[in-house]
Amino acid sequence: MTRPVGVDDLLGAPIEVHPNGNSAVATAPVRSDESLSHVVLSGDVTRAGPISPPRRTRDFGAQGVALLAASALSAFAVVWVLFYQLTLLSGALGFLICWYACFLAVFWVVTVQVVDRSAATDRVATTLVASCAALVIGVLLYIVIWVVLKGVAHFSPGFLWRTLADYQPAEGTALFGKVGVGQAIVGTLEEVGLAALMAVPLAFLTAIFLNEVGGWGVRFVRTIVTAMSGVPSVVAGVFIYALFIVPHVLGYSGFAAAIALFVLMLPSVTRTSEEVLRVVPGGLREASLALGASEWRTVRQVVLPTARSGLITAVVLGVAIAAGETAPLIFTAFGNNDMNVNAFHGPQGALPLVLYQNIFQAQTVVVQLAFTAAFVLLMIVLILFVLARLLGRRSTRKGGLRKLAKAPFNWAKGLVS
Amino acid sequence: MSTDTLAPPSVGRDAPQPIAVPNDRSREDKIFRAVARTAGFVVFGILFLIGFFLLYRGFPALRDMGFRYFTTSGYGTIHKPYHFGALAQMYGTVVIAVIAVILGVPIAIGTALFLTEYAPIKTRSALIAMVDLGAAIPSIIFGLWALHELQPQITGTTSWMVRHLSFIPIFQASSPPFNGSFFIAGLVVGLMIVPIVASVSREVFSLAPPGEREGAYALGATKSQMIRNVILPFGRGGIIGASMLGLGRALGETIAVSVILGLDYQISPHILEHGGTSVASFIATEFGAGGSVGTSDLLMLGFVLFTFTLIVNLVASMVVNRSRSGKGVDL
């Protein structure tokens, strides 16, 4: 029988410092086919050998940086020789991909040599995960900056209110002094505004049903809302086309577009505002009910005012996404180069449609027009997105609930719990 | 005596009767609950209407072609005998979505792991905001970028792949040009589904039980070992669900695909070749071109796409919801 091991034994054990002070588990003679946990659970701690000093897993140090840089450099050299000298790779992108793969391999081998195997795997995994995030954020920033740089060249404030009414591509870049996307901005604002007017009350009521009323039907409706949020935007467009425009109930108009956008906004705003309501503390509801208030009064005077900032954020976020939808507008608003302020009659322009109708053209000046319109559209979406985040932050500063502000952005929580 | 609440309960006829607390809701509340519940079912009604009207208006196309609708490709809707169908479109949709998921999901999971496990706490919310922003960037902007910036950059790489990797059957290609291929469309769509897959995965990973996480560290695991042995196994169901949610989005992506792909009904396993189409992009591009039969063809295609995505999304949300990442297993 083994003697129970006490703390004294552990403290008295000779401590052997690894040359790097950086060994992964223990410098002990634990056989590789035997997990450390097995040794610990069997109670025979002494067999695990001397205890190494605690390793800070995030320690990277100058050595780590040097390894990283050296591996990157050597991989660059190897790939350069292999691809440019032997196989003639064209395009910088393929070179970057091969360089990266080669870099990971070199980095792993070198770290195994210098530190040890588990540290090498850990560092390669860290590099891999970090580069995924860097790639995603990098590409998104690249898109935003690219659109801004391309679009800002021909942008002038007048572009925001002039229309495309007398638009002659033959004029070349002189065109930009005469045309603008005013009619499309007006169209987008009206269409999205009408859509929000219809979607927001229904979405709030549904969210209140899901979170405040509860009971019969909640699971079913929540499933339906989730399923509906996956309906492709083009389907919403052809649906409105089949429902209203084929039987001539409505013509092509901003209002038809607004109904299509309503179909798309409804599930997303419902989901984000349900997430907001879930964050409102139950204690507030109970206090109100305990004072004798009815459920309706509790929702109206306690829950909704508490959730106000979060709900506004949810709406702004929904509007930002709806403003950029293109596919449903093709079948409903149809697009218009002239100003049409009446959303209920006649085809109406929209910013995404200006883009869609111009990016395929061969003439450079037309594509430049599309870039400038893209810049305006992206700015509108970005401003709304930033606004949504700032609205939350302001309420936080006033001492509101921190979680409320972020709730609409954490809509995925509703899926997993 | 009856006012002294501390007195021992008396027995017999004098015993205080329990006060009846009114259990009924007031009329106000009944109306409130009914209205809210109705709103919930209106959402269901709208979803039902979408399916019903697309099928109703699209049915003439199915009647004209019969079952051949699903085995024919083309858009011959003007003159009889009609020759149109959904085969090439459905094939393209699935191929693009699969490419998008293969390329997008690993990157999204890596991003989600970085955001939940590695990112420094100070910069975390800013990084999350940037990834979320990707979901708000309009798809037409992705399309514009893909057409004018990504595609010219990447055709060099794809032609290199054709030259040197053509021993893999799907990388074969008969001839240039290499633009407008399933691969490029799938790449763009893959990028577009990253934010949503990352969002769901992030929630799933953050639910991994802290006890087991600490336990892994206590046993001397490195961070990557902890992720492999705790976070990923607990989040497996959620990752599958998130990928399917991404698949649903990829199936329905319209504008970015229609910008890249042209209009031909090629059904080819060679993903680097020019050509092919998808249901959503076909609907958007051919709108208004095929007469009344063409219109019902497009609406029928809309119904097919609607059914596809609805099934994928329902299964996805069930999988995500069921996984719950070992909630309640916390030690």
Confidence of residue A90 (pLDDT cuts 50, 70, 90): low
| pLDDT recorded at residue A84 | 67
Best residue of B28, B121, B157 to probe chain A, by most A CBs closer than 10 Å:
B157
Please give the DSSP secondary-structure letter assigned to residue B19: P
Q: Which residues of chain B have a CB within 8 Å of the CB of A416?
A: 200, 203-204, 207, 238, 320-321, 323-325
pTM of the model: 0.85
Distance CA B82, CA B74 (A): 10
A56-115 residues touching B, CB cutoff 8 A:
57-58, 87, 89-94, 97
Instruction: Report the range of poorest mean pLDDT among A24-38, A185-199, A346-360.
Output: A24-38
Question: In Å, how far is B281's CA from the nearest CA of chain A?
Answer: 9
| pLDDT recorded at residue A283 | 92
Q: Which residue of B has its CA nearest to A38?
A: B219
Does the beta carbon of A209 lie under 8 angstroms from any beta carbon of chain B?
Answer: yes
Best residue of A87, A107, A239 to probe chain B, by most B CBs closer than 10 Å:
A239
Question: Mean pLDDT score of chain A, rounded to an integer?
Answer: 82
Instruction: Report the range of poorest mean pLDDT among A36-45, A217-226, B206-215.
Output: A36-45
The mean pLDDT of B162-191, rounded to a whole number, is 85
Cβ distance B54 to A91 less than 8 Å, yes or no, reads no
| pLDDT recorded at residue A58 | 56
Tens of pLDDT, residue by residue over A68-88, are: 888 888 888 888 887 766 665
Cβ distance A367 to B191 less than 8 Å, yes or no, reads no
| pLDDT recorded at residue B326 | 46
Question: In Å, how far is B257's CA from the nearest CA of chain A?
Answer: 11
Question: In Å, how far is B185's CA from the nearest CA of chain A?
Answer: 16
| pLDDT recorded at residue A171 | 78
Instruction: Report the range of poorest mean pLDDT among A18-32, A266-280, B15-29, B300-314.
Output: A18-32
| pLDDT recorded at residue A401 | 64
The mean pLDDT of B82-88, rounded to a whole number, is 86
Q: Which residues of chain A have a CB within 8 Å of the CB of B193?
A: none
- Which residue from B160, B199, B245 is facing A90, i.e. has the nearest CB? B160
Distance CA B287, CA B82 (A): 18
Structural domains of chain B in order of their starting residue, each with its CATH number: 88-325 (1.10.3720.10)
Contact B143, B255 (CB under 8 A): yes
Please give the angle made by the CA atoms of B320, B325 and B329, to the nearest 5 degrees: 145
Cβ distance A266 to B46 less than 8 Å, yes or no, reads yes
Does the beta carbon of B30 lie under 8 angstroms from any beta carbon of chain A?
Answer: no
| pLDDT recorded at residue A23 | 41
Tens of pLDDT, residue by residue over A12-29, are: 444 444 444 444 444 444
Distance CA A374, CA B295 (A): 30
Tokens for B46, please give them: 């709208």
Contact B282, B301 (CB under 8 A): yes
The mean pLDDT of B36-65, rounded to a whole number, is 92
Contact B133, B200 (CB under 8 A): no
Q: Which residues of chain A have a CB within 8 Å of the CB of B317?
A: 223, 226-227, 415
Cβ distance A355 to B42 less than 8 Å, yes or no, reads no
- Nearest alpha-carbon partner for B57 in A250, A259, A243, A263: A243
Q: Where do the structural domains in chain A lie, given as residue ranges?
A: 7-48, 61-151, 169-416
Contact A143, B145 (CB under 8 A): yes
Q: Which residues of chain A have a CB within 8 Å of the CB of B46?
A: 228, 263, 266
Beta strand pairing status for B73-76 and B83-86? antiparallel
| pLDDT recorded at residue B5 | 55
DSSP B72-127: -EEEE-SSSSPEEEEHHHHHHHHHHHHHHHHHHHHHHHHHHHIIIIIS-HHHHHHH
Distance of CA A340 to the CA centre of its chain: 34
- Which residue from A146, A239, A330 is facing B145, i.e. has the nearest CB? A146
Question: In Å, how far is B88's CA from the nearest CA of chain A?
Answer: 18
Between A and B, how many CB-CB pairs are < 8 A?
338
Does the beta carbon of B302 lie under 8 angstroms from any beta carbon of chain A?
Answer: yes
Confidence of residue B112 (pLDDT cuts 50, 70, 90): very high
| pLDDT recorded at residue A271 | 92
- Which residue from B156, B203, B284 is facing A416, i.e. has the nearest CB? B203
Q: Which residues of chain B have a CB within 8 Å of the CB of A356?
A: 140, 255
Higher pLDDT, A221 or A45: A221
Does the beta carbon of B123 lie under 8 angstroms from any beta carbon of chain A?
Answer: no
Q: Which residues of chain B have a CB within 8 Å of the CB of A131?
A: 110
Best residue of B194, B197, B254, B278 to probe chain A, by most A CBs closer than 10 Å:
B254
Strand partners, B83: B76
| pLDDT recorded at residue A42 | 53
Please give the DSSP secondary-structure letter assigned to residue B165: S
Distance CA B123, CA B307 (A): 41
| pLDDT recorded at residue B194 | 95
pLDDT of residue A389 exceeding 70, the answer is yes
Cβ distance A295 to B115 less than 8 Å, yes or no, reads no
Q: Which residues of chain B have a CB within 8 Å of the CB of A93?
A: 153-154, 156-157
Distance CA A93, CA A71 (A): 20
The mean pLDDT of B237-264, rounded to a whole number, is 89
Residues with Cβ within 8 Å of A134's Cβ and at least 6 positions away in sequence, in order, are: none
Instruction: Report the range of poorest mean pLDDT among A197-201, A401-405, B151-155, B315-319.
Output: A401-405
Distance CA B193, CA B205 (A): 18
| pLDDT recorded at residue A1 | 41
pLDDT of residue A165 exceeding 70, the answer is yes
Instruction: Report which listed range, A93-97, B55-59, B63-67, is most confident.
Output: B55-59
CA dihedral B146, B147, B153, B159 (to 10 degrees): 110
Q: Which residue of B has its CA nearest to A413?
A: B203
The mean pLDDT of A100-104, rounded to a whole number, is 90
The mean pLDDT of A39-55, rounded to a whole number, is 56
| pLDDT recorded at residue B325 | 45
Confidence of residue A417 (pLDDT cuts 50, 70, 90): low
Instruction: Report the range of poorest mean pLDDT among A149-163, B88-102, B159-173, B224-238.
Output: B159-173
Confidence of residue A36 (pLDDT cuts 50, 70, 90): low
Does the beta carbon of A304 lie under 8 angstroms from any beta carbon of chain B?
Answer: no
Does the beta carbon of B278 lie under 8 angstroms from any beta carbon of chain A?
Answer: no
- Which residue from B148, B223, B249 is facing A57, i.e. has the nearest CB? B223
Does the beta carbon of B165 lie under 8 angstroms from any beta carbon of chain A?
Answer: no
Confidence of residue A362 (pLDDT cuts 50, 70, 90): confident
Higher pLDDT, B158 or A35: B158
| pLDDT recorded at residue A194 | 96
Confidence of residue A32 (pLDDT cuts 50, 70, 90): very low
Percent over 90 (pLDDT), chain B: 44
Q: Which residues of chain A have a CB within 8 Å of the CB of B302?
A: 234-235, 238-239, 242
**Rg of chain A (C-alpha set):** 30
Instruction: Report the range of poorest mean pLDDT among A113-122, A359-368, B167-176.
Output: B167-176
Distance CA B279, CA A234 (A): 10
Pick the CATH number of A169-416 from 2.40.50.100, 1.10.3720.10, 3.40.140.10, 1.10.150.310: 1.10.3720.10
Distance CA B187, CA A302 (A): 47
Complex ipTM, two decimals? Answer: 0.88
Distance CA A403, CA A254 (A): 37
Tokens for A410, please give them: 């954490």
Angle between helix B236-252 and B182-206 (nearest 10)? 140
Residues with Cβ within 8 Å of A354's Cβ and at least 6 positions away in sequence, in order, are: A164, A181, A184, A335, A369, A370, A373
| pLDDT recorded at residue B74 | 81
